[in-house]
């Protein structure tokens, strides 16, 4: 590989700007091309972000003909699958934005394409780079909770439903469950080492998004703004998951891990859950006394977790390391989302079957 890592960006909307900003801070990265399906949008992006050396395309397949090491996939959810699979088959490493895809089948095909090509497919969950999220996982993994039999997680905004591409079923696939729910699922499942999900019983609704009193695009609101699910996991634990873009409540509660020896409570850092951690308390018995031990938070300082995720991808590409957040694992996150949507649609518990990768 040349000294510089040659990068393309597919999709040039909101989050692509954050990817471009992160890459521009790296002296060993060159943004070589940008593609967007809206004619002229990639060219405008290149100008706006001061990328004179970057070529602009209206079709990601033209971008993939260039000599590139990797791409950032920054399209709406529905196009993650096609663009990532095409990029992997063209021999490019892929950093794909969250959620991984729209359906389980798409996620499986993406993971297979990564395996067959030997290229990286990493999914962009930047809260993984929050030192306190790492602490939560290390406490759960240390065994001090004993056998973890119940996990409760999710997140809620009082009024926080987005608009645009996020509320169109054909582009986003799902609403709050996939958009912010995928972060909460990743936090809980990663702490548990991503056990295989077995069954799910779920409910969803969209009373706020479809009400003009609460949403300016109510007539075009096609996805769910609230969802709740009970997910059975391999090994016997259950996950109680709840997520909301809008509700008459301040919060849907904290993340809880209940174990046979201790429990862990995780407070989100902001009002609206963004996957970063604001407080962690261990509930245990010390000398027979009920004890609550707040665990010291690891200071984030100036750490930019978004930059860290993009940097980790670049370093993995340069050093030939495996995917930092492997698509093959995140297929299980997508499988839960897929099961929730199926169960909510039918009103019954459904099985989750994940094909072999």
Ligand X SMILES: NC(=O)c1ccc[n+]([C@@H]2O[C@H](COP(=O)([O-])OP(=O)(O)OC[C@H]3O[C@@H](n4cnc5c(N)ncnc54)[C@H](O)[C@@H]3O)[C@@H](O)[C@H]2O)c1
State which residue, 71 or 264, has the beta carbon closest to ligand X. Answer: 71
Contacts of 205 (CB under 8 A, 6+ apart): 224, 225, 226, 227
Instruction: Report the b/e string of 44-66 with b at 16+ CB within 10 A.
Output: ebbeebebeebbbbeebeebbee
Least distance to ligand X, CB of residue 280, Å? 22
Q: Are 230 and 238 in contact (CB under 8 A)?
A: yes
State which residue, 77 or 269, has the beta carbon closest to ligand X. Answer: 77
Of 31, 26, 62, nearest to 47 by C-alpha is 31
Q: Does 176 engage in binding with ligand X (CB under 6 A)?
A: no
In this chain, which of 5, 10, 133, 167 binds ligand X, going by CB under 6 A? 10
Q: Which of residues 114-133 bind ligand X (CB under 6 A)?
A: 124, 126
8 by DSSP, 3-state: which?
strand
Interatomic CA distance for residues 34 and 153, integer angstroms: 37
- Give the single-character DSSP code of 159: B
Of 209, 247, 243, 198, nearest to 349 by C-alpha is 198
Element (H, E) at 262: strand 262-268
Count of positions on this chain that bind ligand X (CB under 6 A):
26
Name the one range near ligand X by CB under 6 A: 37-45, 133-141, 195-203, 313-321. Answer: 37-45
In this chain, which of 5, 35, 64, 200 binds ligand X, going by CB under 6 A? 35
Interatomic CA distance for residues 91 and 349, integer angstroms: 40
Name the one range near ligand X by CB under 6 A: 10-18, 108-116, 130-138, 231-239. Answer: 10-18
Q: Does 272 engage in binding with ligand X (CB under 6 A)?
A: no
In this chain, which of 22, 64, 79, 335 binds ligand X, going by CB under 6 A? 79
Long-range contacts of 20-25 (CB under 8 A, 24+ apart): 20/45, 20/49, 20/51, 21/49, 22/304, 22/306, 22/307, 22/310, 22/311, 23/72, 23/310, 23/314, 24/49, 24/50, 24/51, 25/307
Least distance to ligand X, CB of residue 182, Å? 8
Q: Are 303 and 131 in contact (CB under 8 A)?
A: yes
State which residue, 124 or 324, has the beta carbon closest to ligand X. Answer: 124
In this chain, which of 4, 26, 37, 283 binds ligand X, going by CB under 6 A? 37
State which residue, 77 or 244, has the beta carbon closest to ligand X. Answer: 77
Q: Does 60 engage in binding with ligand X (CB under 6 A)?
A: yes
State which residue, 155 or 259, has the beta carbon closest to ligand X. Answer: 155
In this chain, which of 38, 62, 267, 345 binds ligand X, going by CB under 6 A? 38
Q: Which of residues 93-112 bind ligand X (CB under 6 A)?
A: 97-98
State which residue, 11 or 263, has the beta carbon closest to ligand X. Answer: 11
Q: Which residues bind ligand X (CB under 6 A)?
A: 10-16, 35-38, 41, 60, 74-77, 79, 83, 97-98, 124, 126, 164-165, 179
């Amino acid at each position: 590989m040349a000294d510089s890592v040659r990068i393309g960006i597919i999709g040039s909307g909101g989050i692509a700007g954050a990817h471009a900003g992160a890459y521009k801070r790296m002296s060993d990265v060159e943004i070589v091309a940008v593609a967007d399906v809206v004619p002229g949008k990639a060219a405008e992006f290149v100008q706006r972000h001061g990328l004179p050396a970057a070529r602009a395309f209206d079709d990601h397949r033209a971008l993939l003909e260039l000599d590139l090491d990797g791409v950032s996939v920054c399209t709406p959810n529905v196009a993650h699958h096609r663009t990532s699979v095409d990029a992997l088959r063209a021999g490019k490493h892929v950093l794909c934005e969250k959620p991984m895809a729209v359906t389980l089948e798409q996620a499986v095909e993406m993971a297979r394409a990564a395996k067959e090509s030997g290229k990286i497919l990493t999914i962009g969950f930047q809260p993984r780079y929050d030192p306190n999220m790492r602490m939560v996982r290390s406490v759960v993994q240390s065994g001090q909770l004993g056998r973890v039999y119940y996990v409760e997680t999710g997140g809620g905004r009082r009024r926080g439903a987005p608009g645009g591409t996020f509320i169109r079923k054909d582009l986003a696939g799902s609403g709050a469950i996939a958009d912010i729910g995928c972060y909460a699922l990743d936090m809980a499942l990663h702490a548990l080492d991503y056990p295989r999900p077995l069954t799910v019983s779920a409910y969803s609704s969209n009373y706020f998004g479809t009400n003009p009193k609460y949403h300016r695009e109510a007539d075009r609101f096609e996805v769910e703004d609230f969802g709740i699910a009970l997910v059975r996991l391999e090994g016997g634990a259950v996950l109680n998951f709840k997520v909301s873009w809008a509700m008459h409540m301040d919060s849907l509660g904290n993340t809880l891990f209940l174990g046979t020896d201790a429990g862990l409570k995780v407070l989100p850092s902001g009002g609206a859950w963004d996957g970063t951690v604001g407080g962690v308390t261990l509930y245990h018995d010390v000398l027979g006394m009920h004890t609550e031990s707040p665990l010291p938070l690891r200071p984030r300082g100036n750490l930019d977790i978004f930059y860290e995720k993009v940097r980790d991808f670049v370093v993995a590409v340069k050093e030939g390391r495996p995917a930092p957040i492997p698509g093959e694992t995140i297929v299980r996150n997508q499988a839960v989302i897929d099961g929730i949507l199926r169960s909510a649609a039918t009103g019954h518990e459904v099985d989750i079957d994940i094909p072999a990768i």
